[in-house]
Each structure stands twice: as structure tokens, then as C-alpha cells.
């Protein structure tokens, strides 16, 4: 899969800049179909690649292998309830993954609602398409009719088409950088356990070094970090923006938020092409895959001082662009 994504990115990068798009797609399990639903919405090549990666190979691979079924209950997340951002080259995909079932009551596979965005800034995409995506998800879940699903998708696409006339393309309006206060928030810098922030930064440093810039080493690494009350997609957006600034656009990046009333929130950061092994995390609790903030890494005085200096800089740049992560 790694070679596929490298070739895919190289093919896109070699061509001219492409027209901006906002396109919705829904796939997975739904009561309106007796098995996997017919895809609804646009099926651009990048979305088809995303579906194969996340649903067919990732989720399907873990179901077929029995890896989730064999997890002891304390090590298994209660159900699918995820929000994610996937980033590669000149496009992003925002998606929700939620528990669902088909018309015969089978519930192993989820429902996926997604928007592919190209040519717009990540903050604008998250701010404007995120709420629309959640509304579409709720409308689709609320019906058992395939016809009503298709109608809801068409309505959502119409709203996206209207957005394309209002949002400024990224070529005109550059991505707003992550502020110092946002970095302090996702790094839990004001927590009562000082080592938490250093542990997260150390884990990211190891992952980036393993993968290499632009994913040059062909490896994929996962780092699990906590969510501290962030609104939907904010944690994912800030991590994606921060990592893209370090790694570049040719390396696939995914940030997956898990939100459930029965468990603390978390975000899985996947650096490199996600395969079934990395997407195993979709149903694995922190008892199986611990938070980086809970792993007692041993770091030297120089690293600890570098982290303290970085946090001080972020505080001084509270509403300005934060410096790159010190990794």
C-alpha cells in the first residue's frame, strides 16, 4: 500500500493545479439496503481510494481477520463514533464513522459520511463543511429509506455547491496558521502533570523520525493523544495542520477523533499510508493502545528544556502563529 500512495501522490504532484471542489459521499451500512449500501454522492478517484483504504481494507480487513472480535471487552471501544480528517497532497477528506446496521440487522460495519475538499483552506473546510456533514449524518441515520438517503445527500451537495461560490480558494486565502493558544490546548500544556506534554511531543518526534520527511522511509506510525473537550474536528484539524507543516504534503496524514459519552475522548494520529494494522485502533481502547501522555518515557534535560521553551513561546504568541513543534 505504501508504494501505491507514493505513486498516487507523485502522479498528482506532477500535474497542474486542479480546480477547487467540495463533494459529499456516503457509503457503508444502512437499513435502506440489505447489504452494503450503494454509494451515494460524488465518486472522485480520491474518494474511491479513501473508501478502499478506510472501509474495504481497513475496517473490512479487521472484521475479516477477527482482530476486533478477539479483543477482550475492556480493550474494545464501545462502538464506531469517530470523526476524522485525511490529508494528502492538495486535498482533505473530512468524515464521520458511526455505528449502523443494514436492512437485515447486521451491524459489524459502520456508516461513513464524508466530504472531499480541494483548493480551500483547512480552517474554512472544517468550519463550514463540518457542521453540514454532521447534519447529513444525523439525517441519514434518522431514516430507513434509501430514497430519503439519496435526497439528503443531494441536499447536502447543493449546500456545498453554494459554499464554493462563497469561500475563497486557498490560492487567494492562505491557510490560517495554528495559534499559540491552540497548540497549548491540544498539548494539554496547563495540565497538573507536567510530563504529559513532553510525552506527547516525544512520541511525535519518534514517529516523524521513523517515517521521514514526506514519508520518505515508507513507514507508518500511530500516536494516540487525548482530547480535552475540543469541539468536533478541532483536535484533528490542529494536529493535521501542525504535522503537515513539519512533514510536507506528499505523506498521507490522518487524525481520527473518538468521542463517546462512556469514555474519554482521544485522537489517533496516523503518519504514513493507513493500513488495517493502523486502523485496528478504530476499535481498540486505551487499555490496548495507550495514550502517548500515559507512557513514562525517559527524556534528557535538553529535551525537557526544549519543550519548556516551546510552551513559553506559544504563550507569548497566544493569538499569533505558533512555532513549529520542537521535533
At 50-65, the pLDDT tens digits run 999 999 999 999 999 9
Element spanning 292, H or E: none
- CA distance linking residue 9 with residue 246, whole number of Å: 17
Question: For position 274, what pLDDT does the model report?
Answer: 95
**Same-domain status, 148 and 210:** no
CATH number of the domain bearing residue 152: 3.30.450
pLDDT in tens, 245-273: 888 888 999 999 998 877 788 999 999 99
- CA distance linking residue 223 with residue 243, whole number of Å: 12
Per the structure, the count of domains in the chain is 2
Element spanning 113, H or E: strand 110-118
**Same-domain status, 190 and 156:** no
Q: What are phi and psi of 95, to 5 degrees?
A: -150, 150
**Same-domain status, 67 and 159:** yes
Asked, for residue 325, whether it belongs to a domain, the answer is: no
Average pLDDT over residues 26-44: 96
Question: For position 213, what pLDDT does the model report?
Answer: 82
Q: How much is the pTM? A: 0.91
Question: For position 7, what pLDDT does the model report?
Answer: 42
**Same-domain status, 158 and 213:** no
pLDDT band at 192, cuts 50/70/90? low
Asked, for residue 327, whether it belongs to a domain, the answer is: no
pLDDT band at 19, cuts 50/70/90? confident
Residues in the chain: 327
Asked, for residue 240, whether it belongs to a domain, the answer is: yes
**Same-domain status, 32 and 80:** yes
Cell of 293: 501522555
**Same-domain status, 8 and 103:** yes
Going by C-alpha positions, the residue among 37, 57, 96 that lies closest to residue 256 is 96
**Same-domain status, 139 and 13:** yes
CA triple 174-216-271, angle to 5 deg: 65
Q: Please enumerate, as own/partner, the contacts of 203-208 that have beta carbons within 8 Å and a separation of 24 or more.
A: 203/292, 203/295, 203/297, 204/243, 204/269, 204/292, 204/325, 204/327, 205/327, 207/269, 207/271, 208/243, 208/246, 208/247, 208/271, 208/327
Q: Which positions ≥6 away from 281 have C-beta within 8 Å?
A: 222, 224, 256, 268, 270, 289
Cell of 322: 505558533
pLDDT band at 3, cuts 50/70/90? very low
Examine the fold and report which residue of 113, 137, 164 is the final residue of a domain before the chain moves on: 164
- CA distance linking residue 311 with residue 327, whole number of Å: 13
- What is the percent of the chain where pLDDT is above 70? 92
Q: Give the range of the structural domain holding residue 127, as residue numbers without chain letter.
A: 2-164
Asked, for residue 309, whether it belongs to a domain, the answer is: yes
b/e per residue 183-208 (b: at least 16 CB within 10 A): bbbbbbbeeeeebbbbbbbbbbbebb
pLDDT in tens, 210-233: 998 888 898 999 999 999 878 999
Cell 513514562 appears where? 296
Q: Are 277 and 53 in contact (CB under 8 A)?
A: no
**Same-domain status, 158 and 186:** no
**Same-domain status, 152 and 225:** no
Which of 11-20, 136-145, 192-201, 202-211 bottoms out in mean pLDDT, i.e. has the lowest?
A: 11-20
- Asked if the model's pLDDT at residue 6 lies above 50, the reply is no
pLDDT in tens, 69-99: 999 999 999 899 999 999 999 899 999 999 9
Question: For position 326, what pLDDT does the model report?
Answer: 93
pLDDT in tens, 142-164: 999 999 999 999 999 999 999 99
Asked, for residue 86, whether it belongs to a domain, the answer is: yes
**Same-domain status, 188 and 149:** no
Question: For position 191, what pLDDT does the model report?
Answer: 76
pLDDT in tens, 285-313: 999 999 999 999 989 999 999 999 999 99
- Asked if the model's pLDDT at residue 241 lies above 60, the reply is yes
Sheet containing strand 221-226, edge to edge, reads: 40-41, 21-28, 110-118, 91-99, 81-88, 253-260, 263-271, 221-226
Asked, for residue 190, whether it belongs to a domain, the answer is: yes
Cell of 308: 519548556
**Same-domain status, 88 and 187:** no
Segments in 14-72 forming alpha helices (H):
45-51, 60-65
Asked, for residue 175, whether it belongs to a domain, the answer is: no
Average pLDDT over residues 102-107: 97
Asked, for residue 299, whether it belongs to a domain, the answer is: yes
By the 10 Å C-beta count (0-12 exposed, 13-18 middle, 19+ buried), 61 is classed as middle
By the 10 Å C-beta count (0-12 exposed, 13-18 middle, 19+ buried), 319 is classed as exposed
pLDDT in tens, 168-191: 887 655 566 799 999 999 998 887
**Same-domain status, 229 and 82:** no
- CA distance linking residue 57 with residue 211, whole number of Å: 21
Amino acid at each position: 500500500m505504501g508504494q501505491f500512495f507514493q505513486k498516487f501522490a507523485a502522479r498528482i504532484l506532477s500535474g497542474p493545479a486542479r480546480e477547487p471542489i467540495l463533494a459529499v459521499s456516503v457509503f457503508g451500512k444502512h437499513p435502506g439496503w440489505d447489504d452494503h449500501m450503494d454509494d451515494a454522492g460524488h465518486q472522485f478517484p480520491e474518494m474511491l481510494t479513501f473508501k478502499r483504504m478506510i472501509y474495504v481494507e481497513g475496517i473490512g480487513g479487521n472484521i475479516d481477520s477477527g482482530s476486533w472480535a478477539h479483543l477482550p471487552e475492556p480493550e474494545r471501544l464501545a462502538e464506531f463514533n469517530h470523526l476524522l480528517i485525511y490529508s494528502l497532497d492538495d486535498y482533505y477528506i473530512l468524515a464521520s464513522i458511526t455505528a449502523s446496521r443494514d436492512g437485515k440487522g447486521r451491524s459489524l460495519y459502520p456508516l461513513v459520511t464524508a466530504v472531499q475538499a480541494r483548493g480551500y483552506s483547512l480552517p474554512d473546510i472544517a468550519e463550514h463543511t463540518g457542521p453540514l456533514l454532521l447534519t447529513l449524518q444525523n439525517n441519514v441515520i434518522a431514516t430507513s429509506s434509501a430514497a430519503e438517503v439519496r435526497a439528503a445527500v443531494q441536499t447536502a451537495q447543493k449546500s456545498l455547491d453554494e459554499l464554493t461560490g462563497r469561500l475563497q480558494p486557498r490560492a487567494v486565502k492562505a491557510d490560517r496558521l495554528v495559534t499559540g493558544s491552540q497548540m497549548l490546548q491540544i498539548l494539554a500544556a496547563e495540565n497538573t502533570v507536567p510530563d504529559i506534554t513532553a510525552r506527547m511531543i516525544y512520541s511525535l518526534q519518534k514517529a516523524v523520525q521513523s517515517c521521514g520527511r514526506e514519508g520518505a522511509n515508507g513507514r507508518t506510525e500511530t500516536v494516540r493523544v487525548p482530547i480535552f473537550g475540543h469541539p468536533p474536528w478541532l483536535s484533528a484539524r490542529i494536529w493535521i495542520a501542525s504535522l503537515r507543516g513539519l512533514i510536507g504534503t506528499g505523506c498521507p496524514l490522518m487524525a481520527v477523533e473518538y468521542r463517546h459519552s462512556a469514555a474519554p475522548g482521544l485522537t489517533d494520529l496516523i503518519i504514513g499510508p493507513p493500513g488495517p494494522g493502523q486502523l485496528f485502533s478504530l476499535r481498540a481502547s486505551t487499555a490496548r493502545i495507550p495514550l502517548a501522555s500515559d507512557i513514562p518515557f525517559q527524556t534528557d534535560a535538553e529535551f525537557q528544556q526544549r519543550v519548556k521553551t516551546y510552551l513559553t513561546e506559544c504563550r507569548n504568541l497566544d493569538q499569533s502563529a505558533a512555532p513549529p513543534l520542537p521535533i
